[in-house]
């Protein structure tokens, strides 16, 4: 079995791009205290939105879906699951809430992973939850013609418990060195978790829940209010590319962590930027909904789309957004760029 030494790989990750990401994230982190103290009510609203988006997106990546209405009812615990998909969605909801509410009491150890995985399947009739895999598995990719191809062959079932123990030990050892930035250690740990692929099912969802947990431990709270899972799901092709690049020669201990680390840092930066943007929008919530749409476009550098506007204001209906866009076009305050699915809008003078 390969060894794990995050200290050994640390220096290789200090590329100009990664260092720039680290600086940006820490700058945003410095604004956290201001957010927490001055916008508590608004952040609580963002938390509820993020819970829905995270539960939907993380399950969608794995092909687990339900209707928007059912999803909201399940996340708000106002209904019981009707089928297997909804059972797994409800399980994710509960584990997500556990991490939000008790992250400081959840250690990064194999037993903790088993407990969270058990709860992920607490509503399921199967016995999938709470145990490491009992058969070898592969990571496969479904092609457009319906066939599949093997992308990676994870650690064997009999080696899995020891492998998980080792990455937990390596993670703790690395964090004990205050010269090492946890923002680099976390994605290395998550990559190794995915390459071990310790469960028969639920590995992807567990990796995203663990990412949130470890960011909490390191003091980075953007994932509490902005769905990191949604950001991954909306650009999952790049996620899989980075995972593939960083897993090459993994079994030999010669893999390059940089592609996956760079990708995850980009996601964290984007989450903080989105958090800042959403707080700014919510601060103006006392104005009318059309005025909020107008303000988003006016303060956006360059172009924006209807979907981006709606993501920043989940409480504004699509009909209201469309009506406001039409009115702003009629009054020549904005311009329309492109057409169909590629339509975007810009404040006049910003083409």
Output the six-digit token pair for 198. Answer: 């310790």
pLDDT, position 349: 65
- Do 48 and 224 contact (CB within 8 A), yes or no? no
Q: How far apart are CA 54 and CA 245, in angstroms?
A: 25
Please name the fold of domain 6-280. Fic-like fold (1.10.3290)
Q: What is the pLDDT of residue 284?
A: 59
Span 287-347: which CATH code?
1.10.10.10
Residue 47 token pair: 């938390």
- Kindly provide the residue ranges of all beta strands, DSSP E only, lying in the chain, ordered along the sequence: 139-142, 148-152, 334-337, 344-347
Q: Which residues of the chain have pLDDT under 70?
A: 34-39, 143, 281-286, 349-351
- Angle (CA) 272-263-9 rounded to 5° is 115
Q: What pLDDT shows up at residue 351?
A: 47
Tokens representing 191? 């990559």
Kindly give the residue spans of alpha helices, DSSP state H, lying in 284-305: 289-299
Paired tokens of 345: 């809008």
**DSSP class of residue 200?**
S
Q: Count Cα atoms within 13 angstroms, Cβ side, for 97.
A: 14
To 5 degrees, how large is the angle CA 221–CA 222–CA 223? 90
- In whole angstroms, give the CA distance from residue 317 to residue 311: 11
Residue 72 CA: distances (Å) to CA of 36, 134, 243, 272, 325: 26, 34, 31, 25, 27
Domain boundaries, the chain: 6-280, 287-347
pTM, to two decimals: 0.84
C-alpha 321: how far from chain center = 26
Instruction: Compute φ and ψ for 321, nearest 5 degrees.
Output: -65, -45
Q: What share of the chain is helix, strand, coil (3-state, %, to 5)?
A: 65, 5, 30
Which pLDDT score is estimated for 86?
97
Residue 239 has a pLDDT of: 96
CA angle 54, 60, 63 (to 5 degrees): 155
Helix-helix angle 182-196:258-283, to 10 degrees: 120
* 289-299 and 318-330 helices, crossing angle to 10°: 60
Residue 292 pLDDT: 85
């Amino acid at each position: 079995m390969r060894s794990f030494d995050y200290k050994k790989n640390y220096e290789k990750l200090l590329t100009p791009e990664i260092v720039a990401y680290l600086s940006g994230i820490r700058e945003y982190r410095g604004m956290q205290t201001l957010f927490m103290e001055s916008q508590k009510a608004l952040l609580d609203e963002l938390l509820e939105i993020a819970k829905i988006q995270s539960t939907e997106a993380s399950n969608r990546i794995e092909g687990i879906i339900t209707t928007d209405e059912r999803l909201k009812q399940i996340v708000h615990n106002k209904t019981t699951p009707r089928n297997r998909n909804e059972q797994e969605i409800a399980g994710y909801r509960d584990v997500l809430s556990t991490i939000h509410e008790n992250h400081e009491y959840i250690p990064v150890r194999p037993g903790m992973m088993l407990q969270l995985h058990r709860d992920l399947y607490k509503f399921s009739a199967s016995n999938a939850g709470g145990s490491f895999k009992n058969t070898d598995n592969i990571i496969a990719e479904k092609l457009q013609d319906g066939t599949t191809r093997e992308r990676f062959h994870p650690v064997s079932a009999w080696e899995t418990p020891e492998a998980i123990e080792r990455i937990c030990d390596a993670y703790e050892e690395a964090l004990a060195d205050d010269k090492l930035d946890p923002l680099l250690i976390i994605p290395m740990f998550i990559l190794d978790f995915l390459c071990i692929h310790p469960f028969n099912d639920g590995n992807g969802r567990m990796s995203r829940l663990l990412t949130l947990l470890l960011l909490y431990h390191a003091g980075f709270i953007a994932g509490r209010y902005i769905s990191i899972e949604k950001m991954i799901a909306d650009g999952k092709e790049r996620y899989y590319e980075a995972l593939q690049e960083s897993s090459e020669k993994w079994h030999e201990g010669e893999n390059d962590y940089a592609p996956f680390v760079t990708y995850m840092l980009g996601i964290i930066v984007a989450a903080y930027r989105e958090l800042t943007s959403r707080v700014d929008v919510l601060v103006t919530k006392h104005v009318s909904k059309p005025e909020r749409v107008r303000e988003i476009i006016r303060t956006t550098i360059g172009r924006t789309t209807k979907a981006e506007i709606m993501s920043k204001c989940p409480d504004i209906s699509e009909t209201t957004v469309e009506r406001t866009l039409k009115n702003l076009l009629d009054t020549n305050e904005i311009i329309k760029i492109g057409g169909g699915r590629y339509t975007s809008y810009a404040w006049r003078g910003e083409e």
